[in-house]
Chain A
Amino acid sequence: MTTTETSGSRPFGLVRHSAVLARRSLVKTRRNPGYLINGVMTPVIFLVLFLYLFGGAVSGSTDNYLQYLFPGILVMTTSLSGMLATGLNLNLDVKKGIFDRFRSLPIERAAPLLGSVAADVVRYVLAVIVLFGIGYALGFRVQSDPLSTLAAVLLAVAFGFCLSWVTVFLGVLVRDEGAVLTFSFVAFLPLVLGTSLSAPIDTLPGWLRAWANVNPVTHAMDACRALLSGGAAGDAVTQTLIWSAVLLVIFCPLAVFAYQRRR
C-alpha cells in the first residue's frame, strides 16, 4: 500500500475543515436556492404588507413609516435565515448517512456545525444586500453615515448568528425535521413580531409591552433603527451584544454537546 500519511501535519484544522464544510453548504444553496429565497422573501412580504397596511395609521405616511419599519425588517431577515436554515440542514445531515461520514473522519467534532453556521453568515449577508436593494427601491434612505450602516448590518448578522444556535441545538436534538420546522415557525411569530418591529413599544398594551421589553429581538431592532437613523444607539447596542453573547454561550456548547452525543 502507498503510505502517504493522510492529514495531521497542516495547522488550523478546525478553521480549514469548517471552511470546506461551509463551501459545501453554499454549493448546496446555489443548486437549491429555495430556502435562501424564502429567507429573503418572507421579510420582504412583511415589509411591503406592513408598509401599506399600517403606514398611514402609525406614521401618517408610508414614507415616514418605511424609515421606522426597515431596520426591524433587517433584523427579521437575519433572525429568520438562521432559524430556518441551520437547524434544518443539520437535522437532515444527521438523518442521512453523511453525518456518520463526518464523524468517522479525523476532523474536529464542531467542524460540521461551524461550517454550517459560517455558510449561514454568507447567506445572511446576501439576504441583507437584497433587502437593502428592495428597501431603497421603495424609498428607504439611511439617515446616518456609512460606518453606522455597516455597524447596523454587522449587529443584525451577529445577532442572527447567535440566535441561530438555538435552532442548531434543536436541529441536532430533535429527530423529526417537521418538528424543527414547526418550532422555528411558532417561535418566530412572538419572537420577531412581539417587538418594536411594527410600532413603538409605548403604544402596546401592558402585557405585550412587558414581553417586547424582555425580548432580545426588540433590542436588536432598536439598535439597528438608531444606527440607521442617526439616533442614540448606545444602550440598545450594548443590550443586543449582551443578549447575543448569552445566547451564544448557552446554546453553542449545548449544540456541540448534543451533536457529539448523537449516534
Chain B
Amino acid sequence: MSRLILALSLCVLAGANAFAAGFAKDQAFRPATAEEIALKDVSYAPGAPAVILDWIQVDEDPLSVASEYYRIKILTEEGRKYADVEVTYFSGFPFNGRVTDIEARTIQPDGRIVPFNGKIYDKVVLKAGGMRLRAKTFSLAEVQPGSILEYRYQRRWADNLLRNTYWVIQRDIPVLHVRMSKEPYNTFGQYQSFFTYNNLPPGKVPTLTPRKTYDLELTNVPVFANEDFAPPEDSLKTSVNFYYSSGQVEPSKFWRAQSASWNKSIEGFLGKPDALRVQAQALAGKTPMETLQNIYAKVQTFRNLSFEDETQADDKKNAAAVVAQSEGYRVELTRAFVALARAAGLDANVLFVAPRDRYFFSPNIANADQMDGEIAEVTVDGKAHYFDPGTPTAPFGLVSWEKSNVPGLRVAKGAQPVFNTVAEQKPDQAVTRRGADLRLNGDVLEGSVTATFIGQEALQRRLRIWGEDEATRTKSLEDEARRWFPDGASVKLTQVTGAATYAEPLVVKLDVTLPGLVSEAGSRTVLPVSVFEANARNPFSSATRTHPIYYPYPHREEDEVKVTLPESLSLAAVPPPALLNGGVLQYKNEVKQSGNAVTFTRSLTVDAMLIDQQYYKPLRNFYSSMVAADQKPLVLVSK
C-alpha cells in the first residue's frame, strides 16, 4: 500500500500523450515451431505442468501503456489451468486503468490454430470508495496437454500518472525466455527514475538502450521454490522494480537527504528536553539504567493504539502530547520514550530500522519504505542499548525480532547516514524452558507441566494473545502445548503469569494426561526419553534445498522431565548422554536415575539467523540426529 501511495503522490505532470501504442514485433502471434511442438518436459524443471515459452512485456510510460505477450505450453492436465486468464487493473481515479486489445488463441499439438472468440468478462474484484480493482477474465478453448496458448493485451492508465513498475519474473512454472522493456516518462528533470533488482543471474541487469528504454532479457528462469524456514519471498524472487522519485536516486545522496528529513521530523516531534523535564524527574532512579527502567515501565503502561483493531484516534503532535494523554501509536510511544530519556539527561536517539519479516534491507535501494521501523537507542557508559517501547510487553532491552539484527540508521542532524547492524540478539534472549513432573500409571503418563517463555519467546506469545479474552488466551496456550504431545493428550491450563507484562517471563502451568507415549517391546515397557519431542519430526525432511535457511531469531530450548516409575518397574539401563555439535547448532541430552525417578534434561541452542544452503546437508543431519536422540527409548523391566 505504501508503494501505491507513493505513486499517487507523484501524479502531477502535465501534457497528455498523443500517440497510440501498438504491440512490439516479437509480441506478434506466430506458428509453433517444430521444437516447441516436440517439447514434452523442461530439463531443469521436470514434471512442470506448463512452461512459459516466451513472455514479452513492453512498458511505455510516455504513452501510459504496457503491452504483454505470453506464450505458454501446456505439459500436463494440471497445466490446463493456465488457460484461465485474469488481468487485474485499477479502474477508478486516479489510475483510470483499462485493459484493451485482448487477443488470444490456442495452437493445438498438430499445429491447428483455434482462435479465441469467446467472451471477455469484466469482474469486480474489489470496490471500496473510489478504489476499484477489476479484472478482465477469459478462458481459452480446446486446451489440452501439448497445446500452446498465446495471448496478449495492453494495460492502459491515466495520462501523466507516474506509475511504478514491478516485474516479478520468477513464477510457479519455468520461463524459457522473457524480454522486458521499460521506457520511463521524460519528466524533463522534475522527477528521477531508478530501478532495483533482486536475484538476477550474474551479469544480467536492465540496460539503457539508445531508444532510452531499460531492457532485460533472461532465459531459463527457474521455478520459484516454496520452502519452510526460508527468507521472505520478496527477498528471493527474481524481480526488477522501477521507481519514480521526486528526490535523490543516487543511494548515498538519497539516504543523506532522507536522514536529514527524518531528523527534522523526529526532532520536531521530540521537542526540547525541558518540555518533559518534570515528568522525567519523577522517574529518576539512582543510576542511568534505573532511570531508563522507570521510563520504560512508564511508557509501557501507555495505551498502544497500534495494537487496537478499530481505533480512530488522531496522531499526536509531539512527545509531550503522548505523555500527557498516556497513549499513542507505536512510533509515537518509541519517540516519547526517547524524549523522556533525553529529558532525564540521557543520550537517547530514535533509530530507523528495516524490519526483516517482509524483505531484507539494501542500502543500494533508494527507497525509504524499507526502513519503516523505529526503535530507541540509548547509550549508557559508552555502550548502546536498544529498546522497543512501541511494542507492548517487549522486555526491557529487547526489541521485537523483526527489528533485531537489522541495519539501523541513527538519525542525527548533519551526520552522514551510517547503517549499522543493531539490536543483536543471542539465544539466551529467546528461551523456552519446559519442565514436567510425571508419574507412569499403567500405560499413561500423568502430572504437571510448567512452560517458561523468556525474552523473545515470551514476547511473541504475548503478542499472539494480546487483546484476546481469557478463554481465547487459554485455548491458544493449551493448543500450543497439545502439539508437543502425541494424539490423545489431555492438556488443561491451570495458571498463567506474565501474559500482560514486559517485566516477567511468561509462565504457563498445565495438568497433563499423556496416553500414546508408552509402548511395548514384548514383556518390556518402552518410553521415549523426551516426552516433549516424542512426536517431533525433522523439519528439514527434504534431501535438497534451494534457499538459505532462515530462523526468525536465535533461540534456545531447555527441557527437564522427571518421570516417577511405579515400584514394579525399573530402568534396564541409563542411556549415555547425547551431544551434537553443529557449530551454531548445539544439542545435548542426559538421563539420570534417582531411586524410582528418571530425569531427562535436554537443550537445543540455535545461535544463527541465516544459514547458507551449502550447509543444508549437515544441518539436516543435525536435526535427524536430534530427533533420534529425543526419541531414544528408555526400556523398563519388571523388578
Query: A and B, one complex?
Result: no
Interface residues of B (CB under 8 A from A): none
